[in-house]
Amino acid sequence: MAVAGGGTAEARYRQLAASLREAIAAGAFGADGRLPSEEKIAQQYGVSRGTVRQALAVLRANGLVTSRRGTRRVVLGTARTQSFFELLSFTRWARSLGEEPGGRTIDVTSCPANPLECEQLNLEPGSQVCRVLRLRTLSRVPIMIERTLYPEHIGAMIAGLDPHAISHTELLTEEGVVFADTEHTIDLVHADADDARLLGCNQDAPLMRERRRATDHSGRPLLWSDDRFLPGTVAFTVHNSVATTALSRRRG
């Protein structure tokens, strides 16, 4: 609960969200799973209704509760596995599974970007970029090939690293780099010669590909990555709530 020295106190609505999350996990709210009204919750916790709504919005985004005008909210799911996307880092993802993340840097090169790369990283033509090729392991078993492209100023921080360093993302974070927004695209590709050699599969074997493009707070691209996973090692999950645009009342 207490915040580590130097940080800011956690917002009340986040504390409240955490409390409600616990209550849900503990199975309060009975068999039908109906939450108290927003007003009731506000009174119970001594906050305003607005704050309660902020907290509930968090739970809703996480797929834990419903929300619909006219009726109480209802518990949707009690469990909650953290989505791959929210973790933003292979290392954190592995740890959240209780597995041991590993990484071996195969190659790091700096060279001028080609036109496609310039567009992806929003750079001037001919700008320098840093290319990193890594093999990622889970409890020593190879499961993913990561091809990452960094703009010069980020690449400079990477270049000097120990090739056995486990997490580049965490090191960059410590340097104050913030991955504020990321877009992920998932599809299926066939292993090329490098993929096959490093992952120990046949060439043309099917792989799950996740491409990530991350920017900082001001929208400046920080990274563009092409990650290829062996089948059966990851599944990507997404949750979705409708924008409640209900119809008019039926047979009023």
Partner DNA sequence: CAGTGGTCTAGACCACTGT
Partner DNA sequence: CAGTGGTCTAGACCACTGG
Residues forming contacts to its own copies in the complex (CB under 8 A) are 6-7, 33, 63, 66, 68, 71, 74-76, 85-86, 88, 176, 178-189, 206-208, 215, 217-219, 231-232, 234-242, 244, 246-248, 250
Q: How far is the CB of 198 from DNA (least distance, A)?
A: 38
* 19 counts as binding DNA under rule CB under 7 A: no
124 versus 244: smaller Cβ distance to its own copies: 244
Residue of 178, 14, 20, 170 whose CA lies nearest to 94: 170
Phi, psi of 143 (to 5 degrees): -130, -15
> Does the footprint of DNA cover residue 84 (CB under 7 A)?
no
Q: How far is CA 39 from CA 34, 62, 75, 175, in A?
A: 14, 22, 17, 44
Residues 86-115 touching DNA, rule: CB under 7 A, are none
* Residue 33 binds: one of DNA, its own copies, none (C-beta under 5 to 8 A by kind): its own copies
Q: Name the residue nearer to its own copies (CB basis): 42 or 65.
A: 65
The strand pair at 181-190 and 101-112 is best described as unpaired
**163 vs 105: CA distance, rounded Å:** 5
Q: Among residues 140 and 249, whose Cβ is nearest to DNA?
A: 249
Which residue, chain included where needed, has tokens 């320098």? 128
Distance CA 143, CA 158 (A): 22
Residue 144's CB is within 10 A of a number of other CB atoms, namely 23
Residue 211 engages DNA in binding (rule: CB under 7 A)? no
User: For residue 143, which amino acid is it?
Assistant: I
Interface with DNA (CB under 7 A), residue from 7, 30, 115, 232: 7
Of the CA atoms within 13 Å of residue 100, those in its CB half-sphere come to 3
Asked whether position 203 contacts DNA by CB under 7 A, the answer is: no
Q: Is-contact 210 184, C-beta < 8 A? A: yes
Q: Which does 206 bind (CB under 5 to 8 A by kind): its own copies, DNA, none?
A: its own copies
Which C-beta is closer to DNA: that of 65 or that of 135? Answer: 65
Q: Which stretch binds DNA (CB under 7 A): 35-43, 102-110, 141-149, 226-234?
A: 35-43
- DSSP SS3 for 42: helix
Report if residue 174 touches DNA, rule: CB under 7 A.
Answer: no
Residue span binding DNA (CB under 7 A) among the ranges 6-14, 88-96, 159-167, 179-187: 6-14
Phi-psi region of 137 (alpha: psi -120 to 50; beta: other; left: phi over 0): beta
CB of 75 to DNA, least distance (A): 12
Residue-by-residue DSSP string for 87-103: H-SHHHHHHHTT--EEE
8 binds DNA (CB under 7 A): yes
Chain contacts with DNA (rule: CB under 7 A): 7-9, 11-14, 35, 37-40, 46-51, 53-54, 67-73, 218, 244, 246, 248-249
